Structure 1
Amino acid sequence: MNHTYVKRIKLWSPVVIIASVIFFFSSQPYEKQDLKPGILSKVDLSLVEKTADSVSFEYATSEISISRLGVQQFVEFFIRKGAHFFIFALLGLFFYRALLHEGVNVRKAIIYSLLFLAFYATSDEIHQHFTGNRTPLVQDVILDFVGGAFGVFIRSLKK
């Protein structure tokens, strides 16, 4: 097999795998991803309840607080949004890295990466529109994009 071909597969495989994982989870209804009956039911959340009891803010026109959601759903919100940020950070990092290794200059690689991330984050939320019990949110597009941009930034620090 051609050495260049193998190198390209190694470069782009993480991008394809991460994008596929995002697509897979976007295809699942909320009930299949609900953390409350599993992980969160086995964790003592009393410390969170005591320390974050006064935390309250709006996200996508909904109040996020323990008093409104309960402690399990409150924690689940942060886990879910952290997962959005983290997976898109990985996607941005590996997409940018692949472009650089393909010989794209840094400035163009950043621009192409950010455009790709904006497109993929938007298409992910559109995909969720067609998935049962999922709500597409502009705020999630922004969160995903910022996570992806963070990944690009982190990778850009490497010389």
Structure 2
Amino acid sequence: MVLVLIFISSSMTYQQQNIQSDLQPFWPPFTRFLNSFSFVYAGEKHSLALDGYAGYLEFILRKLAHFASYFLMGAFFYYGLRRLIKHNFFPALIIWLAMTGLAAFDEYHQAITGGRTPSVHDVMLDSFGAVVGILLVGLIIFVVWRHHERKKLAEN
């Protein structure tokens, strides 16, 4: 489902995806919070003062969507694949490489879509999201396994 949503999203122009007018009513509660930080992404500085409220919030939401979608895919694909392949490192590597390749293909798809600009930085952000998802699932599995092992030892 996430793959379908990514493909649909990549097929849309920026104007079709623009949600800045929808974000205007949410101005007051987040202004103080968003004004407290700025950052550089892909060599460009982003802040409330530079991008405006709606532009800045939309930019943050877009980047969170990049990270979150690949985080979910990395986590779920790793959780599913690790049951098929018993070695712990190999499924993680395969999933990470596949997610990075998918992110690169998605950016290529954006390059051939009108009004979109591909970015290597987005591929890196997507890849990082997948790695974090894989590592989090791996950590949870390890903690649960450790808990079960200690429980077995306590019972014996």
- Which of the five TM-score ranges fits, normalised by the shorter chain? 0.7 to 0.9
Does the C-alpha gap of structure 1 residues 107 and 51 become closer, same or farther in structure 2, counting only changes over 3 Å?
A: closer
Q: Does 1:50 pair with 2:32? A: yes
Match of 1:33 among 5, 17, 21: 17
Q: Does 1:69 pair with 2:58? A: no
- Residue 140 of structure 2 aligns to a residue whose secondary structure is coil
Cα deviations by residue, 1:55-99 (Å, 9 ceiling, x for unpaired): 333212322112221011111111111111101000101111221
Q: Does 1:117 pair with 2:61? A: no
State how 1:1-20 maps to structure 2 within 5 Å: 17-20=1-4
Cα deviations by residue, 1:29-51 (Å, 9 ceiling, x for unpaired): 1112111122x1222x2343334
- Residue 146 of structure 1 aligns to a residue whose secondary structure is helix
Query: Is this contact kept in 1: 2:110–2:116, CA < 8 A?
Result: yes
Structure 2 residue ranges without an equivalent (≥5): 142-156
RMSD: 1.6
Match of 1:81 among 63, 72, 92: 63
State how far apart, in whole Å, the 1-side matches of 2:7 and 2:127 are.
15
Q: CA deviation at 1:52?
A: 3.4
Q: Does 1:22 pair with 2:6? A: yes
Letter in 1 for 2:24: S
State how far apart, in whole Å, the 2-side matches of 1:154 and 1:132 are.
36
Is 66-75 or 50-59 further displaced after alignment? 50-59
Does the C-alpha gap of structure 1 residues 55 and 26 become closer, same or farther in structure 2, counting only changes over 3 Å?
A: same
| Structure with the higher fraction of residues in helix conformation | 2
- Runs of 4+ more than 6 Å apart: none
Q: Does 1:102 pair with 2:84? A: yes
Cα deviations by residue, 1:78-136 (Å, 9 ceiling, x for unpaired): 11111111010001011112211223421110110111111111111111111121111
Q: What's the % identity of the aligned pairs?
A: 33
